[in-house]
Structure 1
Amino acid sequence: MSFLSILHILFSLSLLRYVSSFDITRNDNLVLYWGQNSYGATHSNTADYQQRLSFYCGSDSVTDTFPLAFLTTFFGEGGVPSMDFSNICSTDNDPVFSGTELPNCSFMASDIETCQAAGKIVTISLGGATGAVGFTSDSQAQSFADQIWNIFLGGSSSTRPFGNAVLDGIDLDVEGGGSAHYAAFVTQLQTHFKGASKKYYVTAAPQCPFPDANLGSVINAVPFDAVYVQFYNNYCGLQAFSNPNDWNFGTWDNWAKTTSPNKNVKVYIGAPADSTAAGSGYVDAGTLANVIQQTKSQFSSFGGVMMWDASQAYANGRFDVAAKNALTGGSSAPSPTSSKSSSSSSSSSKTSSAPSSTPTSGGCAGVAAWQTGVAYVGGDSVSFNGHLWTAKWWTENDTPGGQAGVWTDDGACTSAAVATKSVKAIKTPVADVSTRASSEAQDAKSTPNADDVVTPISDTRKAASETSTFRPRWGRD
């Protein structure tokens, strides 16, 4: 090995000190499900379709955990599980291991390791709304745990769909089939974790009605690190936050402290990332911020926010950034660059330009007037009703001085200090960001470059609307 090679390795190792590692004990973590291209299920604008995983782990990423959704079949051909990641990797568009229905997604190894190197964890989510999952006995569940360990985690197998990449744990999104024998599955899996060279995590995504019909007895029986409660598609969804008879985060907090075998388990608010991501439960960014801050301050089990899903969040004006800003109080989150596409199935986009009406005299001269339909990020300033206002975090359609509390009143416009402040609109036409999906001739399986620019989907991996059955993670109504 050359001297320069040794220096390069030492330099690379030194950089690891500056990458924040994942911390499950925090209360500002963000979980973003990836894999099902939920946006593509209801929109035809391919520019905002789901990108490769590494695209969401770049320098502007605010996500801490990526569950890969979903491992849809437990016992497929040859007794091996199967999985589907829509337009990125599936049995429709990719080779499978001989004698199985397990797609070979080894090109995703570099994506997974890119995210992990950035201090994020990547897990495999089992189930989904249409998953063919379940066990007939404890022994079958235990054997399946051994198989999951060998295929996805720290074990070894000839059928490892992500090659040498080692995932960070599993997530149970069981939305049908009952809870029988899942406790044996988790217990057996956790025996592999003991003495392992890295930390592994076990999470679950129950529906908000308590107890969850499929996971309730499981999370009562064995320790989980976190539960991503789906506060949507149910009466207890985010739309019911102001109704104490329906909103039941307090019930989940009580479960965490009194019933869960892990008294340090974290409870997340599960939220749709756009109105088309779920049947009900979507709320705008300002409302979600209010829910986050009140819940975070009231319940010590609060761990953060889960969103369904990555494609929807990025198309919806970087809804993930809005949530992260609310979780962290508006600290250091990057400004969104993606556009919010129309909620209809057309490819047209909702666009907003900076407001044209600005004061021309007084201390607020040059500061744009607040306007509906424009998204602002933390630090943006506007004038409204004769005062200067500064956004605390991402906001849209929240009137300065209103109940959402997202604007700081900097005083009357006569203050000279406000004259230099300006506003920026963060929404851009889809045409401006469509370059993310350009250069179709490039090989989708190449390693992402140092700038974490997404590698476009190749011609052999056709648009998901033509080749895949979408599985939006819509739960039970």
Structure 2
Amino acid sequence: MVVAGFLRLTLSSLLLGIMTHGTVAFDMLSNENLAVYWGQNSYGAINPDNTAHWQQTLSYYCKDNVIDTFPIAFLVDSYAEGNLPSIDLANICNSGNADYFPGTGLLNCSFLASDIEMCQSAGKAVTISLGGGSGNIHFQNDAQAAAYAKTIWNLFLGGTSKTRPFGSAILDGIDMDIEGGSQTGYVSFLTALRKLMNRSKKKYYITAAPQCPYPDGYIGKTLNTVGFDAVYVQFYNNYCGLKHYNNRNDWNFATWDKWAKNVSPNRDVKVYIGAPASSAAGSGYVNSKQMTTIIQQTRSNYSSFGGVMLWDVSDAHANHRYDKAVKQALKSHP
């Protein structure tokens, strides 16, 4: 026990040293942030030597200064077996290579703790994303939702539990990628979770990934009531997507900017351009040259602009490091 405690202390000291000597801590108020989802292996191809396009473990993508935030995708079901959530991380952590906690439908992916902590030590934020295209994030009422905040806190954030999917790693917050169902209880859930977050010295974040049509049908009312830190607006697979950037009757970043300044309870909320990382998306992909123009013009015109969100990291790496091109555009100021 003494040795384990010593090792934890040594690791903490090392990480603090890294942060102190050159690594810049994550800044949500920056307008140069790049958030890229990890976990679902959107690219999907199997590379024979397993070194490139097949989704790599999280630490693989933290070795440079390109990506600032990694929402882990996804927590897919709020109540699975054992009344605990279930998670799905494609090829990285699944029932074929990891065990479930006994009596639950929750995978034990604790081997990812060191990856998560490595990314955090490099000044990156790592969150858990709830939902996804087939997600089932539901509550029967406000009381159940408020109680669920403690579950998420104990499993992924600053609380304690014997069933923490990522072991000792303490994530930096949650993301709500809600693409179906009812908003019942969401405000109560997030309000209770924010209270838990605010009691901690650690900074936590709450983000969402609404569709670009305004207001979003699945989380719009919640966005108007809860103070989110950022919204990763999905400007793809919709009439208001990036492909329609030159048609101001469709492209509606201006609408989201007005929402940020006049409706959101957090007037410092940042609005990201959510984009596909490759042409494999249903619709909405634009090449890096077009994306650079969109980023620079949008940042110049709208003070709520916070950066770009990409789906997902496997596609970005396979697509000639599209994430790198986007980060370069974010860092350049014409």
- Deviation at residue 93 of structure 1 after TM alignment: 2.9
The one of 275, 292, 300 aligned to 1:271 = 275
Q: Which residue of 1 aligns with 2:293?
A: 290
Aligned match of 1:216: 220
Matched residue count: 324
Q: Pick closer, same or farther for the CA change 1:12–1:238 going to 2, 3 Å.
A: closer
Q: 1:195 aligns with which of 195, 199, 203?
A: 199
Q: Percent identity?
A: 57
Residue 7 of structure 1: CA displacement? 10
CA contact (8 A) 2:15 2:121 kept: no
**Paired residues for 1:116-127 under 5 Å:** 116-127=120-131
Q: Deviations over 1:219-257 (max 9, x none)?
A: 001100000000000011100000011000000000000
Q: Deviation at 1:306?
A: 0.1
Which whole-Å CA distance do the structure 2 matches of 1:68 and 1:74 have between them?
15
On the 8 A contact 2:35/2:309 being kept in 1, the answer is: yes
Corresponding residue of 2:55? 50
Change in CA separation of 1:13 and 1:219 when aligned onto 2, cut-off 3 Å: closer
Q: Closer, same or farther in 2 for the Cα pair 1:75/1:318, shift >3 Å?
A: same
Label 1:280 to 1:146 Cα distance change in 2 as closer, same or farther (>3 A). same
Q: Is the 8 A contact 1:174 1:214 kept in 2?
A: yes
Secondary structure (helix, strand or coil) at the match of 2:224 reads helix
Q: Greater CA radius of gyration, 1 or 2?
A: 1
Deviations for 1:30-84, whole angstroms, at most 9, x for unmatched residues? 00100000000xx4545411000000001x2411000000000100001010000
Point out the structure with the larger helix share.
Answer: 2
Whichever residue aligns with residue 314 of structure 1, its letter is H
Contact kept in structure 1, 2:190 and 2:226, CA below 8 Å: yes
- The answer to whether the Cα contact below 8 Å between 2:19 and 2:123 also exists between their aligned partners in 1 is no
Contact 1:30 1:324 in 2 (8 A): yes
Separation (CA, whole Å) in 1 of partners of 2:146 and 2:25: 30
Whole-Å separation in 2 of the counterparts to 1:104 and 1:75: 16
Normalised to the residue count of structure 1, the TM-score between the two structures is 0.66
Alpha-carbon distance in 2 for matches of 1:167, 1:285? 31
2:229 corresponds in structure 1 to 225
2:304 corresponds to? 301
Residue 36 of structure 2 is matched in structure 1 by 32
- TM-score calculated relative to the size of structure 2: 0.93
Question: In structure 2, the residue corresponding to 1:306 is in which secondary structure?
Answer: strand
Query: How far apart are 1:16 and its partner, in Å?
Result: 2.2
1:169 aligns with 2:181: no
Aligned mates of 1:295, 1:286 — CA distance in 2: 14
2:111 aligns to what?
A: 107
Report the equivalent of 2:315.
312
Work out the CA distance in 1 between the residues paired with 2:283 and 2:109: 33
Alpha-carbon offset, residue 181 of structure 1: 1.3
Return closer, same or farther for 1:12/1:235 CA change in 2, 3 Å cut-off. closer
The equivalent of 1:178 in structure 2 is 182
Q: Is residue 91–residue 102 contact of structure 1 (8 Å, CA) maintained in 2?
A: no
What do the CA deviations read for 1:398-446 (whole angstroms, capped 9, x no partner)?
Answer: xxxxxxxxxxxxxxxxxxxxxxxxxxxxxxxxxxxxxxxxxxxxxxxxx
Residues 44, 157 of structure 1: alpha-carbon distance in 2 compared, 3 angstrom cutoff: closer
SS in structure 2 at match of 1:68: strand
Cα distance per residue 1:320-339 (max 9 Å; x no partner) = 01001101118xxxxxxxxx
2: CA distance, partners of 1:19 / 1:125: 25
Query: Contact 1:270–1:306 at 8 Å: present in 2 too?
Result: yes
